[in-house]
Amino acid sequence: MARPRFDVGQIIRDWSSEFYAKYPVVQQVRKSFGAMAVCRTRALGGHVEACPECGGIHVSYNSCRDRHCPKCQNREREVWIGMRKEEILPGVKYFHVVFTVPDCLHPIAISRQALFYGCMFRAAWATLKKFFDARELQGGMTCILHTWGSNLFYHPHIHCIVTGGGVDEKGVWHHLDGCKGFAKDFLFPVRALSKVFRAKFLSMLTSALKNEKELIPQEIRKKCMGKSWVVYSRPPAKGVGQVLEYIGRYAYRVAISNSRIKNYSPEGMVTYDWKDYRHNSVHKQNTMHAVKFLHLFSMHILPPAFVRIRHYGLLSPSNRDKVRKAQAQLGGKPVPKMRTRKSYMQICEEKGWEIGLCPHCKCRMRVIEILEPSRAPPSKGTSSRSACL
């Protein structure tokens, strides 16, 4: 696959000074932008590889590994999907549910990100747990926070992959009625989910803000109660392959990939592609100045150490034994008690990625020199490839 022509790192290198001068930003934004600016450049060091057959030389620079960087998510995503694959319950349908909040709450979300997002996670699980409890079952949920819409504007929401059933108090697995056959496409009634989520989220947010000696402004609360909150649900995935596709599609995704940047002019105008889901998913393009583009991108930098992928109920790490028991009941292979992380080269071989191979004769290249990190700014136009050392 050809490397994208434009990348976020270059835009940061060119326009971050103007962006910092115009917008007040928190330290975490500066830290992440600084990492992305030097990702896969001479500043982070790297190594020189040589082909033992044809003598070809290639320089590979190290990745920044920042979780917001478009270049640095492949390894983490594949490792994470591999672990989730071990937890799949055979023969069970998984449902995709999305919880969103109205835009009148965005000012609170932006100013209190960790507190606000934490309430979203807890309220989403409390909502689903209420419906599982009504059936006297313990279900499971893996959820992933996204703060952007396809157009890059601020839109916090949580993608949830929910088990189509659960275990009773004796650990016996039960499929839910909503999962039987293909006529019943949804696990729980969407309108009911929406009302319960609104009530639980506003209650949790009120309590959390009260602990900080703050309140939800009355006009915002009134708007929230006057709106129908959106809880989106999709039909169940059919088969393990689609389940993993669901999970992998949303895990470790960043606000915008480099491939979506269609043009970047010398004057600083950035054009990127986005999908308009409200109008039949038609692809459109937005064009704006790089400073505004960086401002939009900065809104999706998460607070330090904030966990944006979480597991609840049956799928939480504390319930691994229950998962093993359910997998055995359903005729599957239980999750191994000792789990090992694959190396990056193992992942590359399994995925067919030609990392570390000579582009001409496909031989395994050998490292002949280690490049130490440099404090000098990276030179423009440098060609690089991930080393992930």
Residue 182 has pLDDT above 60, yes or no: no
Nearest-CA neighbor of 352 among 18, 16, 78? 78
Residue 386 has pLDDT above 50, yes or no: no
pLDDT of residue 295: 97
Assess contact for 364 and 349: CB atoms under 8 A.
no
Nearest-CA neighbor of 246 among 69, 138, 72, 93? 93
Per the listing, tokens 């009260």 go with 210
pLDDT band at 176 (very low <50, low <70, confident <90, very high): confident
pLDDT of residue 375: 58
Question: In terms of DSSP bridges, do strands 94-100 and 154-163 run parallel, antiparallel, or are they unpaired?
Answer: antiparallel
Instruction: Give the rounded percent of residues in the chain with a pLDDT score beyond 70.
Output: 87
Nearest-CA neighbor of 40 among 65, 5, 73? 65
pLDDT band at 344 (very low <50, low <70, confident <90, very high): low
Nearest-CA neighbor of 162 among 191, 135, 140, 181? 140
Tell me which range, 188-192, 198-202, 377-381, is most confidently predicted by mean pLDDT.
198-202
Q: Residue 81 belongs to what H/E stretch?
A: helix 74-86
For 160-176, letters b (16+ CB in 10 Å) and e give bbbbbbbbeeeeebebb
pLDDT of residue 237: 64
Nearest-CA neighbor of 242 among 142, 94, 350? 94
Per-domain residue ranges of the chain: 88-255+300-329
Assess contact for 206 and 216: CB atoms under 8 A.
yes
Tokens standing for residue 178: 């909503």
pLDDT band at 353 (very low <50, low <70, confident <90, very high): low
The structure's pTM equals: 0.88
pLDDT of residue 387: 38
pLDDT band at 384 (very low <50, low <70, confident <90, very high): very low
* pLDDT tens column, 258-294: 999 999 999 999 999 999 988 888 999 999 999 999 9
Indicate the range of 54-63, 71-80, 212-221, 343-352 predicted with least confidence.
Answer: 343-352
**pLDDT (mean) for 102-130:** 96
58 vs 385: CA distance, rounded Å: 9
